[in-house]
A and B are shown apart, each in its own frame.
Chain A
Amino acid sequence: MAQDDHSGAELAAADSSHAAQEFAGSTGTAVVPYDAFENPGFEPHRPRVTDQDPGREKRAQRTVYTLFYLSILGSVWAVAAYMLFPMESNNVDAVRLNNMFIGFGATLALLGIGFGAVHWGKSLMTSAESIDTRHPISTSEATQRGAVEVFRQADEESGFSRRTVIRNSLIGALLVFPLPAVVLFRGFAPQDELPAELLSHTMWKKGTRLALDPSGVAIKASDVTIGSAFHVIPEGLTELEHGKLEEKAKAAVLLMRLEPGELNQLPERESWSYEGIVAYSKICTHVGCPVALYEQHTHHLLCPCHQSQFDVANHCEVIFGPAKRPLPQLPIAVDDEGYLIAQSDFTEPVGPSFWERN
């Protein structure tokens, strides 16, 4: 085994007598038995087959350079694949082939170098281990005292501890000076809007027609057969110039038609439905995913994100999952032409709960 020389033989010699003391700290609750075994020292070095058998050594050498040559082959192949497998418009398979063959080339190039180098290291390089002496991480006590002395001297020369008014006013200034930077972050959102206000209103208002998502075609009550469900947006949403997704994130609605007898409506909401057609906010009251999965025969809605379940027959109350509040109901009616319309906006904020909600 090669003794390391970089840490300094003379240092190591000087250390060995002190090593135990230098590393000594409190043993705490560790038990150090008086008759513990002693370290038997290093095992005799075991030569590898490549050290003993010239044939095996030759073979290992061949393996290593073959791997390196294969790597070159892989790199060349990757470049060739770049040219041989162009991406063609309208052809997903071409993309796949391009991806795969460039990838195979790169893989061969990388693995060839990797396995070659590891094999070289393991089978051909001298296998002796190095031995380093560890030194305590802590510096010597003199250095430590020196550092403390530097601070003490700096303190004395500046009068940091002595001139308390100066010191405290500086600390005060340092505490306050980041404030303007913090205030600048207010600019992250529009200045003239209040979040709680915005979250309490949606695009729906009296007379807004219910339209299909995503086409925006208005829905006639007669088109909604019993058992069907529609993804709904307010008419006019698709024509919005700005804030289309923001409005949609609040206004998305699910429309379902049940047998009127199956509907267990709250007395104050009896006028909110039309012949068994009910409309509920599609935005989960948990953290806001779209509650998009409707199970027709149980009248249950399932949120695919965290599995909250809502019972449409019972005014969308929560029957399972982490959500607390029922999905808000959109009061609907039918206009003169037979189209479904909203009676008003939602009567409560839709979507996830927030602090100022009530």
Chain B
Amino acid sequence: MSTASTRSPAPVKRSFTAEASEYLNDRTGLAVAIKGLGRKAFPDHWSFLLGEVALFSFVVILVSGTFLTFFFQASMAEVHYDGSYVPLKGVEMSVAMASTLDISFDIRGGLFVRQMHHWAALLFIAAIGLHMLRVFFTGAFRKPREINWVFGFTLFVLALAEGFTGYSLPDDLLSGNGLRIIDGLVKGIPLIGTWTSFLLFGGEFPGNVIVGRLYTLHILLLPALLVLLIAIHVGYVFIHKHTQFAGPGREPTNSVGPPILPIYAAKAGGFMFIIWGVISLIAALFTINPIWNYGPYDPSPVSAGTQPDWYIGFADGALRLIPPGWEFVWLDRTWSFNILVPLVVIGIFLLLVVAYPFIEAWIKGDTREHHIADRPRNAATRTAIGAAGVTFYAGLWAAASSDILATHFSLTMEGVIHALQAATVLGPFIAYFITKRVCIALQKKDREIVLHGYESGRIVKLPGGEFIEVHQPLDEYDRWRLVSHESYQPLMLRPNARGKITVGQRVRASLSRWFFEDRIAPVTRGELEASHTSHH
């Protein structure tokens, strides 16, 4: 044929990867993504790894959890245990508990996978919490990332739900008591509480359906939501490009860091294996949730020193801190403020966390995009608010161990609770005050270093006999790190177009004053020149 004769003669030898990638690209068009993302710069900082820790431990949870589903049976039917763990032989327990014991004692490596799953879950939530703190303290939630903060917050709540549902599945004594507390909490909610508990447990507590129901949530609904939201959350990291800290050459309009291929891929991919390895090492060495020591659930016995998993501690602690007597009968109905107050306080706390980016944006009125992460000291009031929040959370969390604190340190139960009540209520104010002062002091120190250089340690004796320490000026790169941030001033209250001062503006102005009245501005060129001339 004529077309055949016009074909190019000797075909060039091509590599397998070239052939394979062409084959794939012809069918998927993936080259666009590779070309678009492959050399994307990914800014580097150790604190950016916290979110990755969460992501990578989630992978462990998914994989190990899938393995566990092949063996776990979410049934509350009664059986007499007949597995390898002798002390419980013949004991009546639910199928859920018996199958969890089988995973631990009759399936090789089963205990290892179970421990991987539990440790990874603990790490997952811890990493999410620290990641949120990093984002908060560096202001990485500012425009355009406010909505991604909400997605991240939702992930945190979902992770808590995953943790609690998973913790309850083995139907052992400890988790059963956890569910009993949930039942008591739910019953304390006005109007709907009794019925909600009744529907949740399929009748009276404990019933014989709750494990199955939690299992459906734990392995179907919640993971689906988590995977979806993680995809959105990480997707937005790509769309927004990661924030970066101030540094020479780094602008709000660029993003500087190692390219995704190969360095970032090697480092993040390697880091993923390191996280997996660390979880594996912990699972190999440290027992977690030894349900065989607790025994099956029974509403009557309980052991001293019962503790929930760490991330539920703050809620449990909130219950413990309520003083006696906060329950009333009014209109012939029971109002359990000893339960309502912790629920409402924690609800408000979480609401403030999720709403914070929007509040700060409203106060500042700054609608520019922010891609340079703040150093915490340069946003003194925000950092102080964060420290207050952390202290409040820590007070609640510590209260969950009030009995352990009392027995280990030979203190009275009452003394520990009263001290923690004071710490939880007053502590945030103290933490706020101290943090704000420390931030301002650090800002002043930065100004001092920019204006007069750093202490070189070189002592010089002047002809007049006076000793001075020589100060070494900063080079322009180091200086840029200390002067590149912006400061905000309090809002001036002005009438709007119709000549009115609205209540909203008044609130905004007073919040703005609270935020920005103690303002340390970064050094300007003029100030630096002035400081040099005054020396000579």
Least CB separation from B180: chain A residue: A288
Q: Is the CB of A28 within 8 A of B366?
A: yes
**In the complex, which residues of chain B have a beta carbon less than 8 angstroms from the beta carbon of A59?**
none
Q: Is the CB of B108 within 8 A of A322?
A: no
A-facing residues in B319-369 (Cβ within 8 Å): 319-327, 329, 332-334, 336, 338-339, 363-369
Q: Is the CB of B280 within 8 A of A103?
A: yes
**In the complex, which residues of chain A have a beta carbon less than 8 angstroms from the beta carbon of B524?**
33, 35-37
Stretch at the interface among A91-99, A153-161, A218-226, A332-340: A91-99
Stretch at the interface among A111-119, A162-170, A258-266, A269-277: A111-119
Stretch at the interface among B156-164, B220-228, B249-257, B431-439: B249-257
Stretch at the interface among A50-58, A171-179, A189-197: A189-197
Q: Does chain B have a CB within 8 A of A354?
A: yes
Q: Does chain B have a CB within 8 A of A149?
A: no
How far, in angstroms, from A47 to B321 measured CA to CA in the complex? 57
**In the complex, which residues of chain A have a beta carbon less than 8 angstroms from the beta carbon of B519?**
31
**In the complex, which residues of chain B have a beta carbon less than 8 angstroms from the beta carbon of A268?**
none
**In the complex, which residues of chain A have a beta carbon less than 8 angstroms from the beta carbon of B516?**
29
How far, in angstroms, from A43 to B479 measured CA to CA in the complex? 12
Q: Does chain A have a CB within 8 A of B488?
A: yes
Do A318 and B300 contact each other (CB < 8 Å), given the known contacts A199-B204, A352-B184? no
Least CB separation from B304: chain A residue: A304
Pick the residue among B184, B269, B512 that contacts A287 (CB under 8 A): B184
Do A102 and B109 contact each other (CB < 8 Å), given the known contacts A5-B39, A131-B41, A290-B302? yes
Q: In whole Å, how far is A351's beta carbon from the nearest beta carbon of chain B?
A: 7
Q: Does chain B have a CB within 8 A of A141?
A: no
- Contact bitstring B432-465, A, C-beta under 8 A = 1, else 0: 0000000000000000000000000000000000
Q: Does chain B have a CB within 8 A of A188?
A: yes
Least CB separation from A111: chain B residue: B277
How far, in angstroms, from A309 to B333 measured CA to CA in the complex? 25
Q: In whole Å, how far is A355's beta carbon from the nearest beta carbon of chain B?
A: 5
**In the complex, which residues of chain B have a beta carbon less than 8 angstroms from the beta carbon of A125?**
262-263, 266
A-facing residues in B393-441 (Cβ within 8 Å): 402-403, 413-414, 417
Stretch at the interface among B13-21, B122-130, B190-198: B190-198
**In the complex, which residues of chain A have a beta carbon less than 8 angstroms from the beta carbon of B280?**
103, 106-107, 110
**In the complex, which residues of chain A have a beta carbon less than 8 angstroms from the beta carbon of B512?**
29
How far, in angstroms, from A105 to B259 measured CA to CA in the complex? 33
How far, in angstroms, from A302 to B521 measured CA to CA in the complex? 56
Q: Does chain A have a CB within 8 A of B26?
A: no
- Indicate the member of A29, A104, A292, A308 with the most B CB atoms within 10 Å: A29
B-facing residues in A61-106 (Cβ within 8 Å): 82, 86-92, 95, 98-104, 106
Pick the residue among B41, B85, B298, B333 that contacts A4 (CB under 8 A): B41
Q: Is the CB of A98 within 8 A of B111?
A: yes
Pick the residue among A39, A185, A248 that contacts B298 (CB under 8 A): A248
Q: Is the CB of A114 within 8 A of B366?
A: no
Q: Is the CB of B488 within 8 A of A249?
A: no
**In the complex, which residues of chain A have a beta carbon less than 8 angstroms from the beta carbon of B321?**
322
Q: Does chain A have a CB within 8 A of B25?
A: no
Do A322 and B206 contact each other (CB < 8 Å), given the known contacts A31-B486, A40-B480? no
**In the complex, which residues of chain A have a beta carbon less than 8 angstroms from the beta carbon of B248?**
39-43
Q: Is the CB of B365 within 8 A of A186?
A: no
Q: Does chain A have a CB within 8 A of B172?
A: no
Q: In whole Å, how far is A196's beta carbon from the nearest beta carbon of chain B?
A: 6
**In the complex, which residues of chain B have a beta carbon less than 8 angstroms from the beta carbon of A302?**
413
Q: In whole Å, how far is B251's beta carbon from the nearest beta carbon of chain A?
A: 6
Do A102 and B203 contact each other (CB < 8 Å), given the known contacts A27-B368, A42-B248, A245-B298? no
Q: In whole Å, how far is A101's beta carbon from the nearest beta carbon of chain B?
A: 8
Q: Is the CB of A324 within 8 A of B187?
A: no
How far, in angstroms, from A19 to B164 measured CA to CA in the complex? 48
How far, in angstroms, from A177 to B344 measured CA to CA in the complex? 31
**In the complex, which residues of chain B have a beta carbon less than 8 angstroms from the beta carbon of A315?**
none
Q: In whole Å, how far is B475's beta carbon from the nearest beta carbon of chain A?
A: 9
Q: Is the CB of B177 within 8 A of A289?
A: yes
**In the complex, which residues of chain A have a beta carbon less than 8 angstroms from the beta carbon of B367?**
25-26, 28
Q: Does chain A have a CB within 8 A of B514?
A: no
Q: In whole Å, how far is A130's beta carbon from the nearest beta carbon of chain B?
A: 4
Interface size class of B (residues with CB under 8 A): 35 or more
How many A residues have CB within 8 A of the partner chain? Answer: 121
Q: Is the CB of A113 within 8 A of B284?
A: no
Least CB separation from A34: chain B residue: B524
**In the complex, which residues of chain B have a beta carbon less than 8 angstroms from the beta carbon of A40?**
248-249, 476-477, 479-480
Q: Does chain B have a CB within 8 A of A321?
A: yes
Pick the residue among B143, B203, B255 that contacts A132 (CB under 8 A): B255
Q: In whole Å, how far is B156's beta carbon from the nearest beta carbon of chain A?
A: 23
Q: Is the CB of A86 within 8 A of B108?
A: yes
Q: Does chain A have a CB within 8 A of B276?
A: yes
**In the complex, which residues of chain B have a beta carbon less than 8 angstroms from the beta carbon of A117?**
266-267, 269-270, 273
Q: Does chain A have a CB within 8 A of B207?
A: yes
Pick the residue among B84, B199, B240 that contacts A189 (CB under 8 A): B199
**In the complex, which residues of chain B have a beta carbon less than 8 angstroms from the beta carbon of A13?**
none
Q: In whole Å, how far is B521's beta carbon from the nearest beta carbon of chain A?
A: 6
Pick the residue among A82, A114, A358 that contacts B109 (CB under 8 A): A82
Q: Is the CB of A29 within 8 A of B491?
A: yes
Q: Does chain B have a CB within 8 A of A148?
A: no
Q: Does chain A have a CB within 8 A of B525?
A: yes
Q: Does chain A have a CB within 8 A of B380?
A: no
- Contact bitstring A276-296, B, C-beta under 8 A = 1, else 0: 000000111011111011000
**In the complex, which residues of chain B have a beta carbon less than 8 angstroms from the beta carbon of A19?**
253
**In the complex, which residues of chain A have a beta carbon less than 8 angstroms from the beta carbon of B266?**
117-118, 120-121, 125
Q: In whole Å, how far is A222's beta carbon from the nearest beta carbon of chain B?
A: 24
**In the complex, which residues of chain A have a beta carbon less than 8 angstroms from the beta carbon of B316?**
305-306
Q: Does chain A have a CB within 8 A of B473?
A: no
- Contact bitstring B502-524, A, C-beta under 8 A = 1, else 0: 00000000001000100101111
Q: Does chain A have a CB within 8 A of B297?
A: yes
- Contact bitstring A178-209, B, C-beta under 8 A = 1, else 0: 00000001101110010110110000000000
Q: Does chain B have a CB within 8 A of A235?
A: no
Q: Is the CB of B249 within 8 A of A42?
A: yes
Least CB separation from A308: chain B residue: B324
Q: Is the CB of A134 within 8 A of B207?
A: no
**In the complex, which residues of chain A have a beta carbon less than 8 angstroms from the beta carbon of B332?**
358
Q: Is the CB of A87 within 8 A of B84?
A: yes
Q: Is the CB of B108 within 8 A of A134?
A: no
How far, in angstroms, from A243 to B208 measured CA to CA in the complex? 9
Least CB separation from B412: chain A residue: A320
Q: In whole Å, how far is A292's beta carbon from the nearest beta carbon of chain B?
A: 5
Q: Does chain B have a CB within 8 A of A311?
A: no
- Contact bitstring B222-241, A, C-beta under 8 A = 1, else 0: 00000000000000000111
Q: Does chain A have a CB within 8 A of B271?
A: yes
**In the complex, which residues of chain B have a beta carbon less than 8 angstroms from the beta carbon of A110?**
273-274, 276-277, 280
How far, in angstroms, from A233 to B323 measured CA to CA in the complex? 31
Least CB separation from B476: chain A residue: A40
How far, in angstroms, from A25 to B251 measured CA to CA in the complex? 16
Q: Is the CB of A29 within 8 A of B365?
A: yes
Least CB separation from A101: chain B residue: B284
**In the complex, which residues of chain B have a beta carbon less than 8 angstroms from the beta carbon of A103?**
112, 280-281, 283-285
Pick the residue among B112, B192, B205, B476 that contacts A249 (CB under 8 A): B205
Least CB separation from B32: chain A residue: A6
Pick the residue among A102, A213, A318 that contacts B284 (CB under 8 A): A102
How far, in angstroms, from A29 to B239 measured CA to CA in the complex? 27
Least CB separation from A88: chain B residue: B84
Do A246 and B203 contact each other (CB < 8 Å), given the known contacts A95-B105, A307-B403, A355-B334? yes
Q: Could you write out 12 A-B pairs with CB less than 8 Å apart?
A: A4-B40, A31-B521, A37-B523, A37-B525, A87-B84, A87-B108, A104-B281, A110-B274, A118-B270, A322-B326, A354-B334, A358-B333
Beyond A29-B516, A245-B206, 5 additional contacts (C-beta under 8 Å) are A31-B489, A114-B270, A130-B40, A252-B299, A355-B334
The 7 closest A-B pairs by CB, nearest first: A103-B284, A287-B184, A117-B270, A114-B273, A121-B266, A28-B365, A42-B249
